Amino acid sequence: MNLEECRTVFAASSLVLMLIAAAPTLSLVVPFPNGTERFSELWVLGPTHTAEDYPFNISVGEPYSVSVGVGNHLGVSSYYLVYVKFRNQTQPFPNTTISLPSPLPPLYEFRAFVVDNATWETPLTFKVLKASRIENSTFINYLAVNDVAFPVNASTTRDSKGKGFLYELFLELWLYNMTAQNFQFHNRFVGIWLNMTG
């Protein structure tokens, strides 16, 4: 073997060793050929623990229940934060195109450490504590989430499609970033629409 062949073998061997050493980091960016994808799930299920029968027509003082869940398929154990937020039809919701959470303040939060390929789920109950109606507008002043009261001071007018006075209870998924040592919006949110009937 001449000197040029030795250099080629050494360069190829070095490249292979660098790729092997970088494989854990590359696996977070480059999809595996077998189709393994890295992602997190966020869901809300109705009271029958299915994706139906969600509360819609709500009244003051009546409790309503749903289930909130997170699934971890990131390849590592992860620490999650789920914010519960509330909005009317004109207030901003998250923008997943540019990974921007809603600027609305969270009413409640859940924190969960979820190992890889596992799920976490918990109940969420909510109840409108104080609301009023003036002509063609409704005002929700206080909302309780898991028996903790929060001022929301949200108002809305009747929906143009005649569906009612619509509000949205929505959840944002945040993920703890070990490098930055803080939670960052994980670009996932789900919500349920609510019609304030009385």
CATH label of the domain that carries residue 165: 2.60.40.10
Question: How far apart, in whole angstroms, are the C-alpha atoms of residue 84 and residue 69?
Answer: 12
One domain, residues 28 and 60? no
One domain, residues 17 and 112? no
One domain, residues 2 and 50? no
One domain, residues 182 and 129? yes
Decide: 192 and 54 in contact? Cβ < 8 Å: yes
One domain, residues 181 and 115? yes
Please state, in angstroms and as integers, the Cα–Cα distance from residue 76 to each residue in 28, 72, 121, 135, following that order.
Answer: 10, 8, 18, 53
| SS3 label, residue 182 | strand
Number of domains observed in the structure of the chain: 2
Q: In what order do the strands lie in the sheet with 148-157?
A: 39-45, 64-73, 118-134, 137-145, 148-157
Q: What local confidence, expressed as pLDDT, does residue 92 receive?
A: 93
Q: What local confidence, expressed as pLDDT, does residue 82 receive?
A: 98
Q: What local confidence, expressed as pLDDT, does residue 37 receive?
A: 80
Q: What local confidence, expressed as pLDDT, does residue 164 receive?
A: 87
Question: How far apart, in whole angstroms, are the C-alpha atoms of residue 68 and residue 182?
Answer: 22
One domain, residues 42 and 69? yes
One domain, residues 31 and 121? no
Whole-structure pTM value: 0.79
One domain, residues 143 and 179? yes
Q: What local confidence, expressed as pLDDT, does residue 22 receive?
A: 52
Domain that holds residue 11: 1-37
One domain, residues 70 and 115? yes
One domain, residues 158 and 141? yes
Q: What local confidence, expressed as pLDDT, does residue 24 receive?
A: 47
Q: What local confidence, expressed as pLDDT, does residue 149 receive?
A: 97
pLDDT below 50 — which residues of the chain? 6, 15-17, 23-33
One domain, residues 88 and 2? no
Q: What local confidence, expressed as pLDDT, does residue 32 receive?
A: 45
One domain, residues 49 and 12? no
Residues 6+ apart with CB under 8 A from 151: 141, 142
Q: What local confidence, expressed as pLDDT, does residue 197 receive?
A: 79
